[in-house]
Amino acid sequence: MNIAEWAEELTESLADGPGAPGLLTLAQCGDTTASDEVIDLARHAADAAGWPLYELSADQAGGTPFPPQETGFLILRDVVAPLPPGVPVLVAAFQHLVRRGQPVGLLVVGPPEGLDALRKHPAMGFLSRAEWVVHDR
């Protein structure tokens, strides 16, 4: 999926609420500029929809609950390989909240190697349902 299609789907998903497809997205970005563009689109869409917005870099994910109030849209940026230990913990917590029907969304942004490492983690099978965005500059 390209960035324009994803931005439209994210906007619709934020309006539809829990379980909507665009609320779980992996964004493969070739460089910092591409990452910034994807993150800016997500910030704007979440803000326009009135969703609480949280943002962490992968190295800040050391067991941080997702999100602190159990609602909102989380942007997890700079996911690289090898994965920081807190990244799978945080993403698994997101899955738990989705199962409970909480209004949460997650955008994971990183280079191909980081996202591949996350998808191959043994506890991340549910990521096969994630939207996949490739944005290279």
* 3 contacts 41 by C-beta, under 8 angstroms: yes
Domain 22-125, classified CATH 3.30.479.30, yes or no: no
| Average of per-residue pLDDT across 62-80 | 79
Query: In terms of Cα–Cα distance, which of 125, 123, 91 is closest to 108?
Result: 91
Higher per-residue confidence, 66 vs 17: 17
CB 130 within 8 A of CB 97: no
The predicted-structure confidence for 12-41, as pLDDT tens digits, reads as follows 999 998 888 899 999 999 999 999 999 999
Across the beta sheet with 53-57, the strand order is 53-57, 72-77, 104-110, 24-29, 131-135
Q: To which H or E segment does residue 109 belong?
A: strand 104-110
- Give residue limits of the domains in the chain: 22-125
